[in-house]
Amino acid sequence: MSVSHHLADETLQDYAAGSLSSPMETLVACHLTVCQHCRDRASIADHIGGSLFEEFEAVDVSLSASDLLAQANVMPAHSAPSASPAANPVSGVPRPLARLLNDPLEELDWKRIAPGIKQYNLSDQHRRFGAFKLLHLAPGVVLSAHSHNDRELTYVVKGSYQDEVGRFKAGDIADLDGDVAHQPVVDTDEPCIALIATHSPVRYTGMFGKIMQPFIGI
Ligand SMILES: [Zn+2]
Protein backbone atom coordinates (compact mmCIF):
# COMPACT_ATOMS: atom_id res chain seq x y z
CA MET A 1 0.00 0.00 0.00
CA SER A 2 1.56 3.31 -1.01
CA VAL A 3 0.76 6.07 1.43
CA SER A 4 1.13 9.75 0.54
CA HIS A 5 -0.55 11.63 3.39
CA HIS A 6 0.78 11.27 6.93
CA LEU A 7 0.17 12.23 10.54
CA ALA A 8 1.22 15.67 11.77
CA ASP A 9 4.11 15.82 14.26
CA GLU A 10 1.80 17.24 16.91
CA THR A 11 -0.68 14.37 16.50
CA LEU A 12 2.09 11.78 16.84
CA GLN A 13 3.35 13.54 19.96
CA ASP A 14 -0.13 13.57 21.49
CA TYR A 15 -0.52 9.89 20.58
CA ALA A 16 2.78 8.97 22.24
CA ALA A 17 1.79 11.00 25.31
CA GLY A 18 -1.57 9.18 25.50
CA SER A 19 -3.50 12.46 25.31
CA LEU A 20 -5.60 11.73 22.22
CA SER A 21 -9.27 10.79 22.53
CA SER A 22 -9.98 7.09 22.06
CA PRO A 23 -11.51 7.63 18.56
CA MET A 24 -8.50 9.65 17.40
CA GLU A 25 -6.18 7.05 18.87
CA THR A 26 -7.96 4.42 16.76
CA LEU A 27 -7.41 6.45 13.57
CA VAL A 28 -3.74 6.98 14.35
CA ALA A 29 -3.33 3.26 15.05
CA CYS A 30 -5.04 2.39 11.73
CA HIS A 31 -2.59 4.56 9.82
CA LEU A 32 0.39 3.18 11.73
CA THR A 33 -0.55 -0.37 10.68
CA VAL A 34 0.01 0.58 7.02
CA CYS A 35 2.68 3.31 7.25
CA GLN A 36 6.29 2.49 8.02
CA HIS A 37 7.20 6.17 7.69
CA CYS A 38 4.92 7.19 10.58
CA ARG A 39 5.84 4.10 12.62
CA ASP A 40 9.44 5.22 12.37
CA ARG A 41 8.43 8.67 13.63
CA ALA A 42 6.40 7.41 16.55
CA SER A 43 7.75 5.86 19.69
CA ILE A 44 4.96 3.35 19.71
CA ALA A 45 6.60 0.55 21.66
CA ASP A 46 6.16 2.28 24.99
CA HIS A 47 2.68 3.35 24.11
CA ILE A 48 1.48 -0.12 23.16
CA GLY A 49 3.11 -1.62 26.23
CA GLY A 50 1.42 0.98 28.44
CA SER A 51 -1.98 0.42 26.86
CA LEU A 52 -1.77 -3.34 27.27
CA PHE A 53 -0.78 -3.02 30.88
CA GLU A 54 -3.65 -0.64 31.63
CA GLU A 55 -6.08 -3.02 29.98
CA PHE A 56 -5.06 -5.99 32.09
CA GLU A 57 -4.42 -4.00 35.22
CA ALA A 58 -8.17 -3.49 35.46
CA VAL A 59 -8.63 -7.27 35.57
CA ASP A 60 -6.20 -8.14 38.34
CA VAL A 61 -3.12 -6.15 39.29
CA SER A 62 -1.59 -9.14 41.07
CA LEU A 63 -1.25 -11.23 37.89
CA SER A 64 2.25 -12.21 36.78
CA ALA A 65 3.52 -11.63 33.27
CA SER A 66 2.72 -15.21 32.25
CA ASP A 67 -0.76 -14.85 33.75
CA LEU A 68 -1.26 -11.71 31.66
CA LEU A 69 -0.23 -13.55 28.50
CA ALA A 70 -2.63 -16.37 29.32
CA GLN A 71 -5.41 -13.79 29.85
CA ALA A 72 -4.56 -12.17 26.54
CA ASN A 73 -5.15 -15.50 24.80
CA VAL A 74 -8.50 -16.25 26.39
CA MET A 75 -10.10 -12.83 26.87
CA PRO A 76 -11.23 -12.11 23.27
CA ALA A 77 -13.07 -15.44 23.03
CA HIS A 78 -14.98 -14.66 26.24
CA SER A 79 -15.72 -10.99 25.61
CA ALA A 80 -16.78 -10.78 21.96
CA PRO A 81 -16.24 -13.90 19.89
CA SER A 82 -17.86 -12.56 16.73
CA ALA A 83 -15.78 -9.37 16.87
CA SER A 84 -12.46 -11.08 17.50
CA PRO A 85 -10.16 -9.95 14.70
CA ALA A 86 -8.13 -13.14 14.98
CA ALA A 87 -11.19 -15.34 14.51
CA ASN A 88 -13.08 -13.21 12.02
CA PRO A 89 -10.92 -10.65 10.25
CA VAL A 90 -12.77 -7.91 8.38
CA SER A 91 -11.14 -8.00 4.98
CA GLY A 92 -9.03 -4.98 4.08
CA VAL A 93 -9.70 -3.21 7.37
CA PRO A 94 -6.84 -2.37 9.76
CA ARG A 95 -7.08 -4.30 13.01
CA PRO A 96 -7.66 -1.24 15.26
CA LEU A 97 -10.87 -0.60 13.30
CA ALA A 98 -11.76 -4.25 12.63
CA ARG A 99 -11.92 -4.96 16.38
CA LEU A 100 -14.79 -2.43 16.61
CA LEU A 101 -16.82 -4.09 13.83
CA ASN A 102 -18.88 -7.28 13.94
CA ASP A 103 -19.51 -7.46 10.21
CA PRO A 104 -17.72 -6.85 6.91
CA LEU A 105 -17.89 -3.22 5.76
CA GLU A 106 -20.65 -3.69 3.19
CA GLU A 107 -22.83 -5.60 5.67
CA LEU A 108 -22.75 -2.97 8.42
CA ASP A 109 -26.03 -1.34 9.42
CA TRP A 110 -25.40 1.80 7.34
CA LYS A 111 -27.82 4.71 7.79
CA ARG A 112 -28.57 6.82 4.73
CA ILE A 113 -28.18 10.51 5.58
CA ALA A 114 -28.22 12.14 2.11
CA PRO A 115 -28.20 11.00 -1.52
CA GLY A 116 -25.07 8.87 -1.99
CA ILE A 117 -24.01 9.30 1.66
CA LYS A 118 -24.36 6.64 4.36
CA GLN A 119 -22.86 6.57 7.82
CA TYR A 120 -22.14 4.00 10.51
CA ASN A 121 -21.78 5.56 13.92
CA LEU A 122 -19.08 4.21 16.23
CA SER A 123 -20.07 6.50 19.11
CA ASP A 124 -23.40 7.45 20.65
CA GLN A 125 -22.24 10.72 22.18
CA HIS A 126 -23.91 14.00 21.13
CA ARG A 127 -22.42 15.61 18.03
CA ARG A 128 -21.38 18.70 19.96
CA PHE A 129 -18.64 16.54 21.49
CA GLY A 130 -17.44 15.49 18.04
CA ALA A 131 -17.93 12.50 15.77
CA PHE A 132 -16.50 9.01 15.44
CA LYS A 133 -18.01 7.31 12.43
CA LEU A 134 -17.55 5.60 9.10
CA LEU A 135 -18.80 7.41 6.03
CA HIS A 136 -19.77 5.50 2.86
CA LEU A 137 -19.68 7.87 -0.10
CA ALA A 138 -20.91 6.91 -3.57
CA PRO A 139 -18.85 7.75 -6.67
CA GLY A 140 -19.17 11.44 -7.58
CA VAL A 141 -20.45 12.52 -4.17
CA VAL A 142 -19.40 16.05 -3.20
CA LEU A 143 -19.47 16.78 0.53
CA SER A 144 -20.51 20.23 1.74
CA ALA A 145 -17.63 22.69 2.06
CA HIS A 146 -16.54 23.01 5.68
CA SER A 147 -13.77 23.91 8.06
CA HIS A 148 -13.20 22.81 11.65
CA ASN A 149 -12.97 24.21 15.12
CA ASP A 150 -9.99 22.01 15.89
CA ARG A 151 -8.31 18.79 14.72
CA GLU A 152 -10.14 16.48 12.30
CA LEU A 153 -8.68 13.09 11.41
CA THR A 154 -9.88 11.12 8.38
CA TYR A 155 -8.51 7.66 7.53
CA VAL A 156 -9.37 6.32 4.07
CA VAL A 157 -10.37 2.66 4.39
CA LYS A 158 -11.41 2.08 0.74
CA GLY A 159 -11.56 4.12 -2.45
CA SER A 160 -10.37 7.71 -2.69
CA TYR A 161 -11.36 11.37 -2.64
CA GLN A 162 -9.86 14.71 -3.59
CA ASP A 163 -10.10 18.09 -1.92
CA GLU A 164 -8.15 21.34 -1.68
CA VAL A 165 -5.42 19.55 0.29
CA GLY A 166 -4.77 16.75 -2.22
CA ARG A 167 -5.82 13.26 -3.26
CA PHE A 168 -6.40 10.73 -0.49
CA LYS A 169 -6.35 6.97 -1.13
CA ALA A 170 -6.75 3.88 1.06
CA GLY A 171 -4.21 4.05 3.90
CA ASP A 172 -3.81 7.83 3.73
CA ILE A 173 -4.72 10.00 6.69
CA ALA A 174 -5.95 13.58 6.48
CA ASP A 175 -4.74 15.31 9.63
CA LEU A 176 -6.36 18.75 9.46
CA ASP A 177 -6.46 21.57 11.96
CA GLY A 178 -9.11 24.26 12.29
CA ASP A 179 -7.61 26.55 9.65
CA VAL A 180 -8.24 24.23 6.70
CA ALA A 181 -11.46 24.63 4.70
CA HIS A 182 -12.14 21.85 2.22
CA GLN A 183 -14.76 20.12 0.09
CA PRO A 184 -14.05 16.42 -0.49
CA VAL A 185 -15.16 14.83 -3.80
CA VAL A 186 -15.20 11.06 -4.46
CA ASP A 187 -13.08 10.87 -7.61
CA THR A 188 -13.31 7.28 -8.93
CA ASP A 189 -16.14 4.91 -9.85
CA GLU A 190 -15.83 2.96 -6.59
CA PRO A 191 -17.35 4.07 -3.27
CA CYS A 192 -15.08 5.75 -0.76
CA ILE A 193 -15.26 4.51 2.84
CA ALA A 194 -13.60 6.79 5.37
CA LEU A 195 -13.23 6.72 9.14
CA ILE A 196 -13.61 10.14 10.77
CA ALA A 197 -12.93 11.51 14.24
CA THR A 198 -13.51 15.08 15.41
CA HIS A 199 -13.65 16.79 18.81
CA SER A 200 -16.40 19.25 17.91
CA PRO A 201 -18.89 19.85 15.07
CA VAL A 202 -17.42 21.01 11.76
CA ARG A 203 -18.22 24.52 10.47
CA TYR A 204 -20.14 24.38 7.21
CA THR A 205 -19.51 27.33 4.94
CA GLY A 206 -22.49 26.76 2.58
CA MET A 207 -26.21 27.03 3.33
CA PHE A 208 -26.93 23.41 2.36
CA GLY A 209 -24.41 22.09 4.86
CA LYS A 210 -25.76 24.32 7.61
CA ILE A 211 -29.30 23.08 6.99
CA MET A 212 -28.22 19.42 6.81
CA GLN A 213 -25.83 19.49 9.79
CA PRO A 214 -28.34 18.33 12.45
CA PHE A 215 -29.17 15.31 10.26
CA ILE A 216 -25.64 14.48 9.17
CA GLY A 217 -24.34 14.90 12.71
CA ILE A 218 -20.76 15.86 11.89
ZN1 LIG B 1 2.22 7.95 7.61
Instruction: Determine the pLDDT at residue 148.
Output: 73
Instruction: Determine the pLDDT at residue 217.
Output: 55
* Distance of alpha carbon 218 from alpha carbon 216, whole angstroms: 6
Tell me the residues surrounding ligand 1 (ion) with CB < 5 Å.
Answer: 6, 35, 37-38
Name the residue ranges covered by the structural domains of the chain: 9-98, 105-216
Q: What share of the chain is helix, strand, coil (3-state, %, to 5)?
A: 35, 20, 40
Gyration radius of the chain over CA positions: 18
Separation of 153 CA from ligand 1 center, angstroms? 13
Superfamily of domain 105-216: Jelly Rolls (2.60.120.10)
* Distance of alpha carbon 58 from alpha carbon 79, whole angstroms: 15
Instruction: Determine the pLDDT at residue 159.
Output: 95
Separation of 197 CA from ligand 1 center, angstroms? 17
Instruction: Determine the pLDDT at residue 51.
Output: 55
Separation of 41 CA from ligand 1 center, angstroms? 9
Please count the other Cβ atoms lying within 10 Å of the Cβ belonging to residue 144.
20
Instruction: Determine the pLDDT at residue 137.
Output: 95
- From first to last of its 218 residues, the chain has per-residue pLDDT tens of 789 999 999 999 889 888 999 999 999 999 999 999 999 888 654 555 455 445 444 444 444 444 433 443 333 333 333 444 443 456 679 999 999 998 999 899 999 988 899 999 999 877 667 889 999 999 998 887 777 778 889 999 999 999 989 999 999 999 988 777 888 899 999 999 999 998 876 666 666 565 555 555 56
Separation of 192 CA from ligand 1 center, angstroms? 19
Separation of 113 CA from ligand 1 center, angstroms? 31
Separation of 86 CA from ligand 1 center, angstroms? 25
Instruction: Determine the pLDDT at residue 149.
Output: 73
Separation of 184 CA from ligand 1 center, angstroms? 20
Please count the other Cβ atoms lying within 10 Å of the Cβ belonging to residue 17.
9
